[in-house]
Amino acid sequence: MHYRSIFRPDLFAGQTHIVTGGGSGIGRCTAHELAALGAHAVLIGRKQDKLERTTAEIVADGGAASWHTCDIRDEARVKETVAAIIAERGQIHGLVNNAGGQFPAPLAAITQKGFETVVRTNLVGGFLMARECYSQCMAAKGGAIVNIVADMWFGMPGMGHSGAARAGMVNFTETAALEWAGSGIRVNAVAPGWIASSGMDTYSGAVRAMIPRLKAAVPLARMGTESEVSAAICFLLSEGAAFISGATLRVDGAAPHATVLWPMSAHDRSPPFDGFHRATLPEVLRADDTSDDTAD
């Protein structure tokens, strides 16, 4: 089996695209789709085993991929990694700023260290990657950047550190789209909502117990799939989005619009798109997997 993308197979032929956090979850899925569309996918992350495993999957499927370990919060390491990729590949055509992470906690319980750690991961690291791709390559040769943010439009109770960082990344996206336009660079963002991905298995306690019930708060009455997010990313990287820059594309099933003023009911009228042949359902959702509407 191979990735079932909605795009033509040679869409990114001869191109090099970086995916941070490419060893798991949405990043893994995106790396697979980019490779299936002809790109050489460069996976970046902190855990070598995940990077090696996903790279091996892509190669086994007939795609091209490589990996570099890098803590995107480390400025010197980011500079070295981007330079190494350019030395190996010659040019960086696209950057998917996907790496991120957070932990659940009310604002009053978050320490300064905890807040700064999440902001460095979800905002500073993305800035460093984008700046180095711009400075070392894209300023002269152009390119496309897609920053992955989150559904934080009306606040992010229980994860205020992440909400603040993601909102900052949306603003960074808009600023970079203007400042770097003269170099032929487009900068956009994708904001996933509740996506059935491996990241859900990192939570425990009350948050984990709540996850299977999240789809009830989504007007489309289901969670999204990793391949639905990847499709949005690939579109924004593609020539089809040549006149789109500074935008944030939500992939959230209209969840931010849910309101007590308009009653919602369970339905099965929104079938998911599942193009990722290697996707697996998160463990936290398996007990609730009574239909295909939560499958990724």
Write down the pLDDT at residue 288: 59
Does the residue 183 lie in any domain? yes
Q: Are 138 and 183 in contact (CB under 8 A)?
A: yes
Write down the pLDDT at residue 293: 37
pTM: 0.95
Does the residue 222 lie in any domain? yes
Does the residue 259 lie in any domain? yes
Residue 284 backbone class (left: φ over 0; alpha: ψ -120 to 50; beta: rest): alpha
Q: Are 233 and 96 in contact (CB under 8 A)?
A: yes
Spatial strand order in the sheet of 248-251: 64-69, 40-45, 16-20, 94-97, 143-148, 185-192, 248-251
Residues 99 and 132: their CA atoms lie apart, in Å, by 16
Chain-centroid distance of CA 108 in Å reads 28
* Total domains in the fold of the chain: 1
Residues 21 and 197: their CA atoms lie apart, in Å, by 13
Q: Are 293 and 273 in contact (CB under 8 A)?
A: no
CATH number at residue 145: 3.40.50.720
Does the residue 25 lie in any domain? yes
Does the residue 21 lie in any domain? yes
Write down the pLDDT at residue 159: 93
pLDDT in single tens digits along all 296 residues of the chain: 799 999 999 999 999 999 999 999 999 999 999 999 999 999 999 999 999 999 999 999 999 999 999 999 999 999 999 999 999 999 999 999 999 988 999 999 999 999 999 999 999 999 999 999 999 999 999 999 999 999 999 999 999 999 999 999 999 999 999 999 999 999 999 999 999 998 888 888 888 999 999 999 999 999 999 999 999 999 999 999 999 999 999 999 999 999 999 999 899 999 999 999 999 999 999 975 544 333 33
Residues 109 and 111: their CA atoms lie apart, in Å, by 6
Residues 59 and 57: their CA atoms lie apart, in Å, by 6
Q: Are 253 and 219 in contact (CB under 8 A)?
A: yes
Does the residue 9 lie in any domain? no
Domain that holds residue 63: 16-294
CA distances from 110 to 15, 73, 114, 157, 162 (A): 42, 20, 6, 12, 11
Q: Which of 136, 113, 117, 114 is nearest to 73 (CA)?
A: 117
CA distances from 185 to 4, 76, 79, 131 (A): 28, 24, 19, 12
Q: Which of 129, 149, 148 is nearest to 70 (CA)?
A: 129
Does the residue 10 lie in any domain? no
Does the residue 7 lie in any domain? no
